[in-house]
Each structure stands twice: as structure tokens, then as C-alpha cells.
Structure 1
Amino acid sequence: MDTNGIPSRLRAADTDRERIASLIQAAGGEGRLTLEEVEDRLSAVYSIKYTDELATLTSDLPKPAPKRRQAAFGHPAVRVHLAVAVVLSVLLIVRWTVSEVPFFWPAMPMFWLAMSVLVHACVRGARRRFEREDGFAVA
């Protein structure tokens, strides 16, 4: 144990072993490891007790690319909604410049257009998270 009471070596959990095993299997599928190397490393994965020993099995393999976050306006329906809101906002501003009203009256309709696009993007993002996590299809 170190001075903080935390063990210097942590025992590997099943999830740690499964994560390393999936990395080794992916490397074998990509052709980075031969079938014998994959079998040897997988048998070693399930016999290892500590997490620091697991890292040595994948030290010569490239690190997996980090997962990219979904863009807030990534769904095609949200993009169409955004385009319509921008066109309407431009038309409102043009109408305001033609009329000789001293105050900027398009601010309120543009605010509600922006809010509708924002809510649409949030709802679509929540649906995607729900579909990925639970595996249910949402229409």
C-alpha cells in the first residue's frame, strides 16, 4: 500500500479483461496479430490478476481512436428546421429594413424561431441517446 491507503496494484475486474480482450480481437481482425498471437494473448488476458499486467498485452498495438460526439445539429430534420428558421429570419430583417419602423420588431419572432430549433435539436439528441443506450427504436 502507498501512503494514502490505496493499493499500489489493483486487481483486474471482468470488465477490464473484456475491454482488453476486445482490443486484441479487433487487432486480430485488422491483421495486426496472427491467429496464434490472438489466442495466446486472450488466454493470458483471462489468467491475469492485476491491471498493470493487462496493459503489457496491448502495449505494442495502436491506441483506439476516441469516440466522436454527435453534432447537436447532426440530424437532417434539424438541419432543415435550422435552414427554414434562417431563411425566415432573413426575410423578417429584410421586411423590417423596408418598413420604416424605428424599433427592431423581428427580434421576438427570431427569438422564438431560435428556441424552436434549439428544442428540436435537444429532443433529437435525447432520442438518439435513448436509442443507443436501451436499444429501442423510436419513430
Structure 2
Amino acid sequence: MDTNGIPSRFRAADADRERVASLIQAAGGEGRLTLEEVEDRLSAVYSTKYTDELATLTSDLPKPAPRRRPVAFGHRAVRIHLAVVVVLSALLIVRWLASGGPFFWPTMPMFWLAMSVFVHARVRGARRGLKPEDGLAVA
């Protein structure tokens, strides 16, 4: 324990061990480690108790590149469509303010304009090979 009473070492969970084991197996598959090194490191992974020991087993391996989320609004046509929808929505709000209507009637046209952008992004994403579980990211 350190001076604040916080443990300086944390016990490794099975998920931590599996993550490190998959990194070691991937490095072996890429040819960065020999088969004997992979076996030695995997046996060390499954016998470790603390997370700092796991870090030392992969310290000489390159860090994996972070996964980027697919960009659904990355296509130029979808961005233009989105800009047109924003301008039309602003014009609808100005028209509503000028008319002095008792309720916010632009809600429905703005809803359908937004749906058209999402459908357009979805179609473009399907053409680019994006799956529904990838989610949407804005570029």
C-alpha cells in the first residue's frame, strides 16, 4: 500500500489475462515471437496475479492501433444533405416565429428531414460495408 492507503498493485482479472494472451498470440501469428516465446509468455500470463506483471510481458511488442469508429456522415453527398436539412430547418423555425403560431408546427417537417438524412447515411454506410452494430460517428 502507498501512503494514501490505496493499493499500489491490482490483481489481474481473467479478462485482463485474456486480453494480454490475445496480444501475444497475435504477435506470434505476425512472426514477432517464436513459438517457444509464445508458449513461455502464455504460461506466464495465466500464472500472473497482478496487472503490472502482465504489462511486462508485452512491453517489447508494438501497441495495437486504436480502432476507429466507422464514419457514417463521411461521404460528401450526406454532408451536403445534412447542410440542406439544417438550412431548411432554420427557415422553418423563422417562418414559425414570423407567423406567431400557437404551437411549434415545424416539428413534423424537421423530423422527416432528419429521418431522410439518417436513411441517406445508412444507405451510404451499407454501400461502404458498415454494419448496424458499428453505430454512427460524425466526421
Using the size of structure 2 for normalisation, the TM-score is 0.61
Instruction: State the partner residue of 2:132.
Output: 127
Partner SS state of residue 73, structure 1: helix
Are the aligned partners of 1:82 and 1:117 in contact in 2 as well (CA < 8 Å)?
no
Structure 2 partner of 1:82: 78
Partner secondary structure for residue 37 of structure 2: helix
Gaps of 5+ in 1: 90-103, 131-139
CA contact (8 A) 1:24 1:38 kept: yes
Residue 15 (structure 1) aligns with:
15
Give the percent of matched residue pairs that are identical in Structure 1 and Structure 2.
Answer: 64
Query: In the alignment, residue 115 of structure 1 is paired with which amino acid?
Result: A
Matches within 5 A, 1:1-139: 1-73=1-73, 82=78, 85=81, 107-108=91-92, 112=110, 114-120=113-119, 121=121, 127-129=132-134
Distance 2:44 2:73 in 1: 44
Helix, strand or coil for the counterpart of 1:11?
coil
Runs of 4+ in 1 over 6 A off after TM superposition: none
Q: What is the one-letter code of the residue matched to 2:65?
A: A
1:60 Cα deviation from its structure 2 partner: 0.5
Q: Which amino acid aligns with 2:24?
A: I
Aligned residues: 108
RMSD of the alignment, in Å? 3.7
The letter of the residue matching 2:33 is L
Once the two structures are superposed, residues 50-77 of structure 1 have per-residue CA deviations (whole angstroms, 9 ceiling, x without a partner) of 1111111101000000010111326xxx
1:92 corresponds in structure 2 to none
Residues 25-48 of structure 1, C-alpha deviation per residue, up to 9 Å, x if partnerless? Answer: 000000000000000000010011
TM-score (norm 1): 0.61
Residue 6 of structure 1 and its aligned partner are, at CA, apart by 1.7
- Bigger relative contact order (CA 8 A; separation at least 6): 2
Contact 1:85 1:114 in 2 (8 A): no
